[in-house]
């Protein structure tokens, strides 16, 4: 093993000689990479330990560690000397600055902005309402009877707050009008729940505004669904409501088709499938054909506002008619941007969020 120790002594002398020629931070970094880097000379010399006889392995290892310590000590001293010679102790003026992270809108906020802008150009205003609701606005006024399975506690987030939250029944933010008598007697049970649909704001708008009405309502809704790639317990809906004289299903279909073509492209195909909802009659499901997936994708439900819903808001169904739709905003965003898992929206993974 004498040749090995001589080789290591040569390495120590060569490292010291090379360091003596270093005068800048760039040269010092190259020196570090050459001797101390992951693919440097010292790393390569570690193979000498394996090649040494069993009784010499420990000695060779100790020698290598001693040389590494010497090089590290000399390296640190040289770095300090270079820094001091620059006139700014502890500061390397050649280092580039750090660019601060720049935030941006969440993808869902971006999509909501795109949708409200689009419908704004079509003559719609934006309304909003409380997320904690009473049974009148969430069920009764929407023609959902007490016996309907949609009111089952297992399908809703009921809140144990009694009647203490009477202030949650204040009207939508785009109106300062007072509530009607129907709203005042809204919920004799005092029950409150997290709203299951943005249709609740339809009721609040119709309670506080006279026709003609033309609004879109983006907002969060809550349902105790099992979280998976297509379901969350909290998600966003975009509701639209039009109430006026002589409003027909043709108006609804033309508006939906105009929206789909404007947002997904003129080549997008739309179909309406007959369906049932307590608050619309007739009712339909809206599907859009996506060429890349070669299948129809459901966007949501729509239909003509049920006469009982109009009556609950003191609007005469013999004079006025209306239509409404409710589309899932996450679903729209997933189709628009090719997102495959709805959970990405809430996981706060910067790698996902910075793509938008």
Which residues face 290 on adjacent strands? 295
Q: Where are the domains of the chain?
A: 2-85, 107-353
Residue-wise burial string across 104-134, b where 16 or more C-beta atoms lie within 10 A, e elsewhere: eeebbeebbeebbeebeeeebbbbbbbbbbb
Residue from 220, 248, 232, 203 nearest 339 by CA: 232
* 281 annotated to a ligand binding site: yes
Contacts of residue 332, Cβ cutoff 8 Å, sequence gap at least 6: 111, 115, 238, 263, 299
pLDDT mean across residues, the chain: 87
DSSP 8-state secondary structure symbol assigned to residue 60: H
Note the pLDDT of residue 279. Answer: 95
Low-confidence ranges of the chain (pLDDT < 50): 163-171, 174-185
CATH code reported for the domain at 107-353: 3.30.930.10
Q: Are 195 and 133 in contact (CB under 8 A)?
A: yes
- Our CA dihedral for 83, 88, 91, 94, rounded to 10 degrees, sits at -80
Helix (H, G, I), strand (E, B) or coil at 222: strand
Question: Within 13 Å of residue 12, how many CA atoms lie on the same side as its CB?
Answer: 15
Note the pLDDT of residue 62. Answer: 87
Residue from 214, 208, 217 nearest 182 by CA: 208
The rounded distance, in Å, linking the Cα atoms of 55 and 60 is 10
pTM over 0.75: no
| φ/ψ (deg, to 5) at 154 | -70, -20
Contacts of residue 258, Cβ cutoff 8 Å, sequence gap at least 6: 122
Note the pLDDT of residue 184. Answer: 39
């Amino acid at each position: 093993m004498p040749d090995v120790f001589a080789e290591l002594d040569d390495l120590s002398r060569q490292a010291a000689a090379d360091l003596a020629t270093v005068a800048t931070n760039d040269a010092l970094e190259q020196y570090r990479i050459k001797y101390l880097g992951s693919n440097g000379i010292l790393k390569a010399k570690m193979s000498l330990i394996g090649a040494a006889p069993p009784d010499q392995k420990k000695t060779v290892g100790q020698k290598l560690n001693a040389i590494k310590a010497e090089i590290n000590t000399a390296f640190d001293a040289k770095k300090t000397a270079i820094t001091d010679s620059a006139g700014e102790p502890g500061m390397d003026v050649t280092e580039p600055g750090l660019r601060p992270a720049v935030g941006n809108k969440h993808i869902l906020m971006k999509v909501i902005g795109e949708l409200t802008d689009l419908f704004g150009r079509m003559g719609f205003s934006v309304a909003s309402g409380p997320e904690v609701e009473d049974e009148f606005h969430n069920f009764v006024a929407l023609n959902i009877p007490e016996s309907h399975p949609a009111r089952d506690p297992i399908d809703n987030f009921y809140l144990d707050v009694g009647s203490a939250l009477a202030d949650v029944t204040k009207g939508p933010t785009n109106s300062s009008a007072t509530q009607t008598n129907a709203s005042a007697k809204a919920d004799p049970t005092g029950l409150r729940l997290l709203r299951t649909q943005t249709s609740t704001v339809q009721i609040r708008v119709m309670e506080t505004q006279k026709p003609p009405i033309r609004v879109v309502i983006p907002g969060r809704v809550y349902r105790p669904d099992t979280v998976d790639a297509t379901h969350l317990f909290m998600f966003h809906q975009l509701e639209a409501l039009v109430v006026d004289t002589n409003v027909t299903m043709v108006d609804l279909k033309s508006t939906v088709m105009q929206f789909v073509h404007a947002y997904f492209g003129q080549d997008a195909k739309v179909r309406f499938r007959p369906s049932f909802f307590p608050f619309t009659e007739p009712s339909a499901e809206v599907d859009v054909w996506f060429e890349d997936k070669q299948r129809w994708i459901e966007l949501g439900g729509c239909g003509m506002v049920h006469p009982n819903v109009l009556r609950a808001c003191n609007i005469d169904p013999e004079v006025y008619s209306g239509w409404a739709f409710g589309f899932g905003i996450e679903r729209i965003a997933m189709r628009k941007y090719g997102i495959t898992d709805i959970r990405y929206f809430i996981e706060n993974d910067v790698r996902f969020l910075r793509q938008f």
